[in-house]
């Protein structure tokens, strides 16, 4: 059997993350699983206090650092996991997140289950599911000038706080609505619980194959979120006589958009693979991550006597 390797991606700015990283490295080393890390600073972090950093391979972020790894193990919040997904996607390597941030909706486990999570990886006791992505292209005067992708969302936003973004939304080559706004988000079902949710969009279950369009603070009578087919083509046109804008994908990749630019969003050709440990339905994950109340007001406030009228 070939040697097993895991790429460890961490957010090293918090002490809890550093402690978790050292625990993970020690447990994997004991199980005979080698670690890769992205830079020398992380290796030194793992080596501190008698750790096993010297046994890590520093692979850097250039090229294809996840190629050949069994999975990418992420310690941090959703931002860290999104950065890890960018590394894992070209090699089709699955990503496993342990939440050390706040909500951590993309993470499969919380910090209190860290040891069990590592053991599940050691035992190979996990499954992998694929999540839709979007492919994004930017055109100016009919000429493609940039291309990128996103797991959560592609967001077209005004580049100046003082100005309004004038945008036209097209679906499948047909205009739907134009308005002034702060921005327009094009999200996947995975991204429906992220920025799109904060902007007032609906939550879409991951197994629903669809794309979501959410205007942000639009000055219009009709500016409702749209849920369209995964086969649809969404285009956001920037008014040539209006203000410039900026395209941001997953909060990480930024592109300046001149007046008259068009942003085309379609279902991505390459999905992101996420490790799943637990078989519970998405509904339970939603309730847990957002701490949703599932009991009535009377049940939550009952104190053994009759409830107030």
Asked if 51 and 166 sit in the same domain, the reply is no
Angle between helices 15-30 and 40-47 (to 10 degrees): 80
pLDDT at 41: 84
Picking from 12, 15, 37, 39, the residue whose alpha carbon sits closest to that of residue 25 is 37
pTM: 0.90
The angle formed by the CA atoms of residues 6, 36 and 82, to the nearest 5 degrees, is 70
pLDDT at 208: 96
Alpha carbons 305 and 167: distance in angstroms, whole number: 57
- Is residue 18 domain-resident? yes
Give, as one character, the DSSP assignment of residue 70.
Answer: S
Asked if 18 and 102 sit in the same domain, the reply is yes
* Positions of E strands within the chain: 5-10, 34-37, 57-58, 71-76, 95-99, 109-110, 127-131, 134-140, 143-150, 153-158, 165-171, 174-181, 183-187, 210-216, 226-229, 234-238, 245-249, 253-257, 262-267, 272-276
Please count the structural domains in the chain.
2
Asked if 54 and 165 sit in the same domain, the reply is no
Asked if 121 and 10 sit in the same domain, the reply is yes
pLDDT at 49: 59
pLDDT at 43: 85
CATH of the domain at 182: 2.60.200.30
Least confident of 50-54, 94-98, 121-125, 219-223: 50-54
Mean pLDDT for all residues in the chain: 91
- Is residue 277 domain-resident? no
> Last residue of some domain: 106, 125, 144?
125
Asked if the model's pLDDT at residue 139 lies above 50, the reply is yes
Asked if the model's pLDDT at residue 307 lies above 60, the reply is no
pLDDT at 181: 96
Across the beta sheet with 183-187, what order do the strands follow? 226-229, 210-216, 183-187, 153-158, 245-249, 253-257
Asked if the model's pLDDT at residue 69 lies above 50, the reply is yes
pLDDT at 48: 75
Asked if the model's pLDDT at residue 54 lies above 90, the reply is no
Rounded to an integer, the average pLDDT of 82-105 is 92
Asked if the model's pLDDT at residue 72 lies above 70, the reply is yes
Between 69 and 77, the more confident residue is 69
pLDDT at 122: 97
Q: Catalytic residue numbers? A: 78
3-state secondary structure of 297: helix
Picking from 101, 89, 105, 134, the residue whose alpha carbon sits closest to that of residue 10 is 101
CATH of the domain at 79: 3.40.50.10330
Asked if 217 and 248 sit in the same domain, the reply is yes
Over the stretch 232-259, which tens digit does the pLDDT of each residue have?
A: 999 999 999 999 999 999 999 999 999 9
Over the stretch 177-220, which tens digit does the pLDDT of each residue have?
A: 999 999 999 999 999 999 999 999 999 999 999 999 999 999 88
Q: Which two tokens stand for residue 45?
A: 């972090």
- Is residue 263 domain-resident? yes
Q: Sorting pLDDT into bands at 50, 70 and 90, what band is 165? A: very high
Share of the chain above pLDDT 90, in %: 73
Asked if 262 and 142 sit in the same domain, the reply is yes
- Is residue 164 domain-resident? yes
pLDDT at 105: 87
Phi, psi (rounded to 5 degrees) for 261: -70, 155
Asked if 257 and 166 sit in the same domain, the reply is yes
Asked if 139 and 206 sit in the same domain, the reply is yes
pLDDT at 304: 53
- Is residue 306 domain-resident? no
Which phi-psi region, left, alpha or beta, contains residue 166 (left: φ > 0; alpha: ψ -120 to 50)? beta
Asked if 84 and 144 sit in the same domain, the reply is no
* Bridge partners, residue 172, by sequence: none
- Is residue 238 domain-resident? yes
Q: Sorting pLDDT into bands at 50, 70 and 90, what band is 50? A: low
- Is residue 206 domain-resident? yes
Contact of 90 with 63, CB cutoff 8 Å: no
Alpha carbons 135 and 266: distance in angstroms, whole number: 5
Asked if the model's pLDDT at residue 16 lies above 80, the reply is no
Q: State the burial class of residue 123 (Cβ atoms within 10 Å of its Cβ: 0-12, 13-18, 19+).
A: exposed
Asked if 16 and 70 sit in the same domain, the reply is yes
> Last residue of some domain: 125, 159, 189?
125
Q: Which two tokens stand for residue 112?
A: 């209190």
> Last residue of some domain: 71, 96, 125?
125
The boundaries of the domain holding residue 54 are: 5-125
Asked if 149 and 118 sit in the same domain, the reply is no
Q: Sorting pLDDT into bands at 50, 70 and 90, what band is 309? A: very low
Between 72 and 301, the more confident residue is 72
pLDDT at 308: 40
Asked if the model's pLDDT at residue 295 lies above 90, the reply is no
Contact of 107 with 285, CB cutoff 8 Å: no
- Is residue 197 domain-resident? yes
Asked if 203 and 109 sit in the same domain, the reply is no
What residues have CB less than 8 Å from 303, skipping those under 6 apart? none
Exposure string for 150-167, b = 16+ CB within 10 A, e = fewer: bbbbbbbbbeeeeebbbb
Q: Sorting pLDDT into bands at 50, 70 and 90, what band is 11? A: confident
């Amino acid at each position: 059997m070939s040697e097993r390797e895991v790429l460890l991606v961490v957010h090293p700015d918090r002490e809890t993350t550093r402690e978790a990283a050292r625990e993970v490295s020690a447990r994997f080393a004991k199980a005979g699983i080698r670690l890769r890390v992205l830079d020398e600073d992380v290796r030194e972090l793992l080596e501190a206090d008698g750790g096993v950093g010297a046994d890590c391979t520093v692979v850097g972020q250039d090229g294809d650092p996840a190629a050949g790894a069994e999975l990418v193990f992420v310690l941090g919040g959703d931002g860290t996991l999104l950065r890890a997904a960018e590394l894992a996607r070209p090699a089709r390597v699955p990503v496993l997140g342990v939440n050390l941030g706040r909500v951590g909706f993309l993470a499969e486990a919380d910090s209190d289950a860290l040891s069990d999570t590592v053991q599940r990886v050691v035992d190979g006791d996990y499954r992998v599911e694929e999540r839709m992505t979007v492919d994004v292209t930017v055109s100016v005067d009919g000429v493609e000038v940039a291309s990128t992708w996103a797991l959560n969302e592609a967001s077209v936003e005004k580049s100046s706080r003082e100005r309004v973004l004038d945008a036209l939304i097209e679906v499948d080559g047909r205009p739907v609505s134009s308005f002034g706004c702060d921005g327009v988000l094009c999200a996947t079902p995975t991204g429906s619980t992220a920025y799109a949710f904060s902007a007032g969009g609906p939550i879409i279950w991951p197994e629903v194959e669809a794309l979501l369009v959410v205007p942000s603070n639009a000055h219009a009578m009709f500016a409702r979120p749209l849920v369209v087919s995964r086969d649809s083509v969404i285009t956001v046109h920037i008014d040539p006589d209006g203000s410039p804008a900026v395209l941001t994908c997953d909060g990480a990749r930024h592109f300046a958009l001149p007046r008259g630019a068009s942003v085309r969003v379609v279902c991505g050709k390459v999905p992101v693979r996420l490790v799943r440990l637990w078989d519970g339905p998405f509904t339970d994950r939603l309730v847990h991550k957002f701490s949703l109340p599932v009991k009535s007001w009377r049940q939550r406030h009952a104190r053994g006597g009759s409830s107030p009228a």
